[in-house]
């Protein structure tokens, strides 16, 4: 049992003074505002609930330093993406787990207590599925278990390189699934998080350029009532390509053609 005493605490109904919180077996047992501290209490001036990090690609923590500086030629998101693809193609499951654990420790140290892991590095380096289809996802779950961070695991459905169902490119080979194989992946992810404290599984259709309308509908239906995250309107070129394909901007198309509600999270909605 641990007791924490803080001079100011933000609770669901607002700020409270001189609050004592008792934690037992990893759960908050009691919260008592307007009280006195007791010997042995851990003391703080201000206490806030941990923040959720809604969007993480854990493996990318390992490429820190590879793409922060402008190169000798024109750089953009798309040139950064090529660096990321090359890095992603090199990683082993052990490396993914180690990098994710390092990242999650850093998140905890910064005040994040839960992470939404937008996880799309699924297959072996040749693009073939591992014998365990959720090998990489289970490494993310293991990193969360080892570090103690709360996990919302968001396996990513990625099938195409651009709008209209264009074939994926070679650099995307570790990401690619069809709907049936992805459904098996989601089910295995559900089993994986059962050992976690309040583990959650959602789905993440990568972006409108990576899924067809029919696939988007099927993927969102795999988690009734669960979270659905999607990259949307991240880049000007993405908006231009979406206009050429559909006559609408990405967010406009999504709101008109999908049942977007409170369980959806639109990531990088930059160029609305």
Residue 76: what pLDDT? 79
Q: Are residues 91 and 225 in the same domain?
A: yes
- Domain CATH number, residue 65: 3.20.20.140
Q: Which residues contact 164 (CB under 8 A, 6 or more apart)?
A: 212, 245
Residue 80: what pLDDT? 77
| Whether residue 71 has pLDDT greater than 80 | no
Return the biggest CA–CA distance within the chain: 68
| Whether residue 231 has pLDDT greater than 80 | yes
CA angle 198, 199, 204 (to 5 degrees): 140
Q: Looking at 63-67, 102-106, 227-231, 267-271, which range is the least confident one?
A: 63-67
CA atoms within 13 A on the CB side of 137: 34
Q: Are residues 137 and 261 in the same domain?
A: yes
Q: pLDDT category, 261, cuts 50, 70, 90?
A: very high
Residue 134: what pLDDT? 97
Name the token pair of 153. Answer: 């695991």
Distances (CA, A) of 198 to 70, 115, 192: 41, 12, 12
Q: Are residues 16 and 69 in the same domain?
A: no
DSSP state of 92: -
Domain-located, residue 272: no
Residue 190: what pLDDT? 97
Range of the domain at 22: 2-47
Number of C-beta neighbours around residue 266 at 10 A:
17
Residue 188: what pLDDT? 97
The answer to whether the pTM exceeds 0.85 is yes
CA separation for the pair 176, 167 (Å, rounded): 10
Domain-located, residue 159: yes
Residue 254: what pLDDT? 97
Q: Are residues 40 and 125 in the same domain?
A: no
Q: In degrees rounded to 5, what are phi and psi of residue 70?
A: -65, 140
CA atoms within 13 A on the CB side of 35: 16
pLDDT digits (tens, 9 = 90+) for 88-119: 888 999 999 999 999 999 999 999 999 999 99
Residue 196: what pLDDT? 94
Q: Are residues 256 and 168 in the same domain?
A: yes
Q: Are residues 91 and 105 in the same domain?
A: yes
How many structural domains compose the chain?
2
| Whether residue 72 has pLDDT greater than 80 | no
Q: Looking at 1-5, 78-82, 183-187, 239-243, which range is the least confident one?
A: 78-82
Residue 28: what pLDDT? 92
Name the token pair of 224. Answer: 């009734």
Q: Are residues 178 and 74 in the same domain?
A: yes
Residue 200: what pLDDT? 97
Residue 166: what pLDDT? 95
Q: pLDDT category, 75, cuts 50, 70, 90?
A: confident
Strand-pairing partners, residue 230, are 266
Return mean pLDDT, the chain. 94
| Whether residue 52 has pLDDT greater than 80 | yes
Q: Are residues 10 and 143 in the same domain?
A: no
Residue 265 in 3-state DSSP? strand
Residue 69: what pLDDT? 72
| Whether residue 184 has pLDDT greater than 80 | yes
| Whether residue 70 has pLDDT greater than 90 | no
| Whether residue 221 has pLDDT greater than 80 | yes
Average pLDDT over residues 30-56: 95
Alpha carbon 124 to its chain centroid, in Å, reads: 20
Average pLDDT over residues 39-48: 95
Q: Are residues 142 and 183 in the same domain?
A: yes
CB 232 within 8 A of CB 269: yes
Q: Are residues 229 and 249 in the same domain?
A: yes
Q: Are residues 154 and 237 in the same domain?
A: yes
Q: pLDDT category, 268, cuts 50, 70, 90?
A: very high
């Amino acid at each position: 049992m641990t007791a924490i005493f803080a001079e100011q605490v933000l609770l669901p109904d607002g700020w409270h003074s001189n609050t004592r919180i008792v934690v037992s077996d990893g759960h908050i047992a009691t919260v008592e505002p307007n009280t006195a501290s007791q010997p042995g209490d851990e003391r703080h001036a201000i206490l806030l609930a941990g923040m959720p990090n809604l969007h993480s690609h854990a493996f990318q923590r390992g490429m820190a330093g590879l793409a922060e500086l402008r190169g000798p030629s024109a750089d953009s998101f798309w040139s950064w993406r090529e660096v990321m693809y090359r890095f992603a193609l090199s990683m082993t499951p052990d490396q993914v787990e180690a990098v994710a654990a390092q990242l999650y420790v850093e998140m905890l140290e910064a005040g994040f207590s839960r992470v939404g892991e937008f996880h799309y590095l699924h297959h072996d380096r040749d693009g073939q599925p591992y014998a365990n289809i959720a090998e990489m996802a289970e490494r993310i779950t293991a990193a969360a278990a080892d570090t103690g961070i709360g996990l919302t695991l968001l396996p990513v459905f990625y099938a195409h390189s651009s709008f209209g169902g264009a074939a994926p490119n070679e650099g995307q080979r570790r990401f690619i699934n069809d709907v049936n194989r992805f459904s098996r992946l989601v089910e295995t992810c559900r089993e994986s998080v059962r050992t976690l404290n309040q583990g959650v599984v959602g789905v993440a259709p990568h972006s409108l350029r990576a899924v067809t309308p029919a696939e988007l509908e099927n993927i969102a239906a795999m988690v009734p009532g669960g979270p659905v995250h999607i990259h949307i309107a991240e880049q000007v070129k993405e908006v231009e390509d979406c206009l050429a394909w559909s006559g609408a901007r990405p967010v406009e198309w999504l709101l008109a053609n999908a049942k977007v509600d409170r369980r959806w999270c639109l990531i990088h909605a930059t160029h609305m």
